[in-house]
Amino acid sequence: MSILEVSGLKKTYTTRFGGNKVEALKNVSFGVEEGEYVAIMGESGSGKTTLLNILAALDKPTGGRVCLDGQELNKIKEAQISAFRRDHLGFVFQDFNLLDTFSVEDNIYLPLVLAGRHYTEMRERLTPIAGQLGITEILKKYPYEISGGQKQRVAVARALITGPRLILADEPTGALDSRATDELLGLFNAINHKGQTILMVTHSVKAASHAGRVLFIKDGEVFHQIYRGNSTNEQLYHKVSDTLTLLATGGDRR
């Protein structure tokens, strides 16, 4: 069953002083099946964050349709959107979006607090995730006291803590060194094996080569996609890297 259906999605930004229009998304269509692990790649400015924000109902499209878990997003009432998001989605923001007035731990608990969960349950959920992400030692600190890579892992923990069926991650390894990247990718593999669906925007060929499918966006449209099939991570790595070269050199759609 498909967990996400996107059809003919458009987003045009009009700059504040009128005049200039940016067509961030021109015509994006794709579907994601429940349990898939999909990476999205594309050059800076190609519309990846715009797309994720629309999928999470944090922004509205100019045209087209998004169906999440069988529900058309623009038909969900404004008042129900945040509950819908909280119950279905985990979102990792490109700029982390942590609250400086809350400790690391409270930032991670936030979605569960909003869902009215018990403290004991929150702690039981956090312990394994914090261990896997290597952030156990910093839970009592505040976001302004930790590094960029640590913030990123905290943002990932906050997205995973509710056990969402769909995880939308905007460059979740962008601020991480290679060891932390490997740990995060290991965690994503593990939760995907348990059945959670992942849609991850990334600039990292290595991160993309862990996915089951890689979508490439260029000029606001899906340009190409690669299915893993029986490829190993290494074989997929080479295919992704070849496609990126083609994209950068302006190759024709194939």
Please choose which of Mg ion, ligand ATP, none residue 99 contacts, taking the beta carbon within 5 to 8 angstroms, the exact cut-off set by kind. Answer: none
Note whether 6 and 221 are within 8 A (CB): no
Helix (H, G, I), strand (E, B) or coil at 119: helix
Please choose which of Mg ion, ligand ATP, none residue 230 contacts, taking the beta carbon within 5 to 8 angstroms, the exact cut-off set by kind. Answer: none
The reply to whether 47 sits near ligand ATP by the rule CB under 6 A is yes
The reply to whether 13 sits near ligand ATP by the rule CB under 6 A is yes
185: Cβ–Cβ under 8 A, 6 or more apart, which residues?
173, 206, 207, 210
CA–CA distance, 187 with 170 (Å, rounded to integer): 16
Cβ 19 to ligand ATP, closest distance in Å?
A: 12
Among 32, 49, 98, 129, binds ligand ATP (CB under 6 A): 49
111: Cβ–Cβ under 8 A, 6 or more apart, which residues?
86, 90, 158, 161, 162
Give Rg (Cα) of the chain: 18
* Piece of the chain touching ligand ATP by CB under 6 A; list 2-10, 27-35, 47-55, 136-144: 47-55
Q: What residues from 55 to 94 belong to the interface with ligand ATP (CB under 6 A)?
A: 94
* Piece of the chain touching ligand ATP by CB under 6 A; list 44-52, 130-138, 160-168, 192-200: 44-52
* Piece of the chain touching ligand ATP by CB under 6 A; list 37-45, 64-72, 184-192, 208-216: 37-45
Return the number of the residue (15 or 101) whose C-beta is nearest ligand ATP: 15
The reply to whether 130 sits near ligand ATP by the rule CB under 6 A is no
Note whether 40 and 94 are within 8 A (CB): no
Please choose which of Mg ion, ligand ATP, none residue 251 contacts, taking the beta carbon within 5 to 8 angstroms, the exact cut-off set by kind. Answer: none
Cβ 11 to ligand ATP, closest distance in Å?
A: 8
Helix ranges restricted to H, the chain? 48-55, 78-88, 104-114, 119-133, 148-160, 178-193, 205-208, 233-248
Binding site for Mg ion (CB under 5 A): 48-49, 94
DSSP of 10-39? EEEEE-TTSS-EEEEEEEEEEEEETT-EEE
Cβ 242 to ligand ATP, closest distance in Å?
A: 20
Residue 90 neighbours by CB distance under 10 Å:
25
- φ/ψ (deg, to 5) at 228: -60, -40
What residues make contact with ligand ATP under the rule CB under 6 A? 13, 15, 22, 24, 42, 44-50, 94
